[in-house]
């Protein structure tokens, strides 16, 4: 009996340790701890005037976040719009521009990728235009389209077209020769080979191109909207004119959250089309 | 009764329609393969010129219907090159290959191919991989007939229950079963296999060899298979083509394998010819491989 109880005590102790030794538990713990420390530092710093004058406290910002997220849809004119509306406006612009970009980039990428000659011929254009900052297109868009709404969409289109185009062309040009050999030993037609073999084989590349493009579109829309009129970007610009920093921080948080959400949708899509290939 | 009248008697009650001129199904005639080197001004400027490379030179052989032929030879001698020319995937530099008297100009569904790397489409299930092949070759086949053909071949290779799995969920041996089912499902006249078991472990390899022997007994299709394994060649083939080392590889010797069928590992080892054949192949491969190694040492 004397041997019994210490043994039990030591096993319960071990299982308690096992809970804290789990890597998932540890990382969540670290995350929460750092968040609390950060908010605490912020709160204390802001109250004691450690940061710039007028810097809001953490509690004030969280309060605003709560208010904006519980009142997302109100409309008192363009300068006083609920954040939900602004978000939807931004998302709508991104959706239109991004969809148009993808509809151009994927077929064009397939065409370029299929032919090695086209691949080399069009590569200089793509390489030249890809590094141009999206905002450099803004004056051109405004001049040609003479409409801020359309210009916003145009900028999304022109900046989110490249990654999809490049990745699609690369994926199509580098389809495993074995798959092509299978298709040709069966006597498959060119069209059947393209739709049944080449495009599905390049799908992981196409989806990762789409994912990068979506990230860029979301980056660009906020910047473009500062110069446009509505949307999350304009919301930030407007709050800057009002010099009300807590709302800017709220908007930054929401932009980050939505970007994260969009990215994880594409990450899931990537896994879905991988079928065991270097996932 | 004279011989003349004996010849005149119709066999099985049906008269012989026409005399067969040549008994061979596939004729490989003086085939040479030269891989063109990089030439031209552009390559000269970039200093990327390479010389022409003659992989195989003047290879001839006749393959009769319903024979199982294996090709064996030192690594890099041009076995895959020859098989790809038969498949129509690679152009013939010189000579010709005739299938039923007609020259081969490109790939076609009269030849089914099994790849060493399986070459299954990862985004298709087992069933869809086979369906893709059948649908490509017979676009007008009724859905019912197609489903039946697919099912038959899944059963033939013993893959029942794995129809809806994707290739990455299968073991190497099961993947190659799909590869074999896909090649057979289009009902080709000739089955081409390039080291079909090269990527498998010894045990799985043995299982699949037995499967191939079983399937071959059922269908007796003409098969050309490349292998590195002497035992595999002896178990499966009617004839073994031994190639010399490259460059400009040739056929060194063609061995007839006299073992009665159906075969199995144990029974063929009892056959009096087994050990002589095996010894002959071993000494050939050893001699050629040593020459390759020596050439490599000297060129360094
Ligand atoms: N596309 C090509 N261009 C130039 N040379 C090639 C090409 N393909 C193959 N070769 C050369 O032709 C020779 C024969 O190659 P092949 O792949 O047919 O050999 P193999 O007998 O199948 O070898 P292994 O047993 O290793 O599979 C090799 O020396 C190889 O380097
Ligand atoms: Mg080979």
Domain ranges within chain A, ordered by starting residue = 5-55, 66-278
Q: Whose CA is nearest to atom 16 of ligand 1?
A: B78
**What is the per-residue pLDDT for A200?**
96
pLDDT at A13: 52
Ligand 1 atom closest to the CA of B228, numbered from 1:
25
Q: Which residues of A touch B109 (CB under 8 A)?
A: 185-187
Question: Between A181, A201, A275, which is nearest B166 by CB?
Answer: A275
Q: Return the pLDDT at B198.
A: 87
* Residue in this structure with the two tokens 């991004």, named with its chain if needed: A98
Q: Is A164 left (phi over 0), alpha (psi -120 to 50) or beta?
A: alpha
Residue B200's contacts (CB-CB under 8 Å, 6 or more residues apart) are B172, B173, B176, B208
Q: What is the mean pLDDT of chain A?
A: 85
What one-character-per-residue DSSP string does B4-20 give?
Answer: HHHHHSPBTTB---S--
Closest by Cα among B96, B7, B102, B131 to A196: B131
* Structural contact between residues A233 and A224, judged by C-beta atoms closer than 8 angstroms: yes
Residue B109 pLDDT > 70: yes
pLDDT value of residue A113:
94
Residue B6 confidence class, pLDDT cut points 50, 70, 90: very low
Q: Do B122 and A203 touch (CB under 8 A)?
A: no
Residue A85: is its pLDDT beyond 90?
no
A195-233, pLDDT tens digit by residue?
999 999 999 999 999 999 999 999 998 888 887 778 888
Report pLDDT for A1.
39
- Give the domain A66-278 fold: MetI-like fold (1.10.3720)
> What is the Cα–Cα distance from A51 to A250, expressed in whole angstroms?
18
Pick the CATH number of B66-298 from 3.30.450.20, 3.40.50.1980, 3.30.565.10, 3.40.50.300: 3.40.50.300
d(CA A220, CA A154): 11
ipTM confidence score = 0.85
Q: How many CA atoms lie within 13 Å of A137's alpha carbon, on the beta-carbon side?
A: 24
Q: b/e string for B208-218 if b means 16 or more Cβ within 10 A?
A: bbebbbebbee
pLDDT of residue A225: 86
- State the pairing for strand pair B26-35/B94-99: antiparallel
Evaluate the CA torsion angle A108, A109, A111, A112 in order and state its sign.
positive
Q: Quick one: tokens of A103?
A: 């509809």
Of the partner residues B109, B119, B168, the one whose CB lies closest to the CB of residue A187 = B109
Give the residue on B whose Cα is nearest the Cα of A203. Answer: B123
Is residue B225 within 8 Å of B213, Cβ to Cβ? no
Cβ–Cβ under 8 Å, residues A169 and A109 = yes
**What is the per-residue pLDDT across B61-100, written as a single tens digit (0 to 9) for each?**
999 999 999 999 998 899 999 999 999 999 999 999 999 9
pLDDT in tens, B238-249: 999 999 987 888
pLDDT > 70? residue B37: yes
What are the chain B neighbours of A182 within 8 Å (beta carbons)?
113, 115, 119, 121, 133
Q: Is the pLDDT of residue B3 over 50?
A: no
At B114, phi and psi to the nearest 5?
-115, 125
Strands (E), B134-187: none
Rounded mean pLDDT of chain B?
Answer: 88
Domains of chain B, by residue range, sit at: 66-298
């Amino acid at each position: 009996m004397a041997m019994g109880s210490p043994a039990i005590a030591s096993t319960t102790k071990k299982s308690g340790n096992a809970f804290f030794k789990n890597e998932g538990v540890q990382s969540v713990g670290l995350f929460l701890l750092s968040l609390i420390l950060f908010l605490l530092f912020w709160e204390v710093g802001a109250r004691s005037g450690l940061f710039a004058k007028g810097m809001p406290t953490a509690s004030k910002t969280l309060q605003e976040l709560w208010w904006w997220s519980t009142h997302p849809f109100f409309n008192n004119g363009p300068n006083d719009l609920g954040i939900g509306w602004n978000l939807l406006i931004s998302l709508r612009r991104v959706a239109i521009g991004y969809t148009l970009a993808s509809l151009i980039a994927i077929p064009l990428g397939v065409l370029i990728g299929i032919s090695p000659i086209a691949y080399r011929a069009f590569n200089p254009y793509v390489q030249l235009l890809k590094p141009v900052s999206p905002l450099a297109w803004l004056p051109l868009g405004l001049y040609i389209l003479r409409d801020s709404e359309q210009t916003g969409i145009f900028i999304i289109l022109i900046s989110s077209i490249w990654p999809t185009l490049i990745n699609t062309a690369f994926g199509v040009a580098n389809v495993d020769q074995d798959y092509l050999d299978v298709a040709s030993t069966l006597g498959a037609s060119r069209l059947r080979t393209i739709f049944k073999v080449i495009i599905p084989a390049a799908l992981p590349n196409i989806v990762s191109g789409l994912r990068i493009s979506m990230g860029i579109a979301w980056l660009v829309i906020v910047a473009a909207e500062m110069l446009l009129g509505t949307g999350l970007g304009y919301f930030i610009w407007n709050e800057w004119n009002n010099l009300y920093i807590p709302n800017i921080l709220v908007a930054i948080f929401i932009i980050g959250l939505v970007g994260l959400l969009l990215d994880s949708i594409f990450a899931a899509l990537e896994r879905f089309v991988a079928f065991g290939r270097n996932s | 009764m004279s011989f003349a009248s004996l010849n005149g008697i119709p066999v099985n009650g049906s008269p012989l329609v026409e005399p067969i001129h040549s008994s061979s199904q596939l004729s490989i005639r003086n085939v040479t393969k030269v891989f063109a080197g990089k030439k031209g001004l552009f390559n000269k400027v970039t200093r990327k010129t390479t010389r022409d490379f003659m992989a195989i030179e003047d290879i001839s052989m006749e393959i009769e219907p319903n024979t199982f032929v294996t090709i064996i030879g030192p690594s890099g001698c041009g076995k895959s090159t020859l098989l790809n020319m038969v498949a129509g995937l690679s152009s013939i530099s010189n000579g010709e290959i005739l299938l039923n008297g007609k020259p081969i100009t490109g790939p076609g569904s009269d030849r089914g191919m099994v790849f060493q790397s399986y070459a299954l489409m990862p985004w298709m299930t087992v069933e869809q991989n086979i369906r893709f092949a059948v649908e490509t070759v017979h676009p007008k086949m009724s859905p019912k007939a197609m489903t039946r053909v697919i099912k038959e071949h899944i059963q033939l290779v013993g893959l029942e229950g794995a129809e809806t799995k994707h290739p990455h969920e299968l073991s190497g041996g099961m993947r190659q079963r799909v590869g074999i089912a896909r090649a057979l499902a289009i009902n080709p006249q000739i089955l081409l296999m390039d080291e079909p078991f090269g990527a498998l472990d010894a045990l799985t390899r043995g299982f699949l060899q037995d499967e191939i022997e079983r399937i071959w007994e059922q269908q007796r299709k003409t098969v050309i298979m490349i292998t590195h394994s002497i035992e595999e060649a002896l178990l499966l083939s009617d004839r073994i083509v031994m190639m010399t080392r490259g460059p400009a590889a040739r056929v060194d010797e063609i061995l007839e394998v006299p073992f009665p069928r159906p075969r199995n590992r144990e029974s063929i080892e009892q056959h009096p010819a087994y050990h002589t054949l095996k010894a002959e192949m071993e000494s050939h491969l050893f001699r050629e491989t040593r020459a390759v190694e020596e050439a490599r040492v000297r060129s360094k």
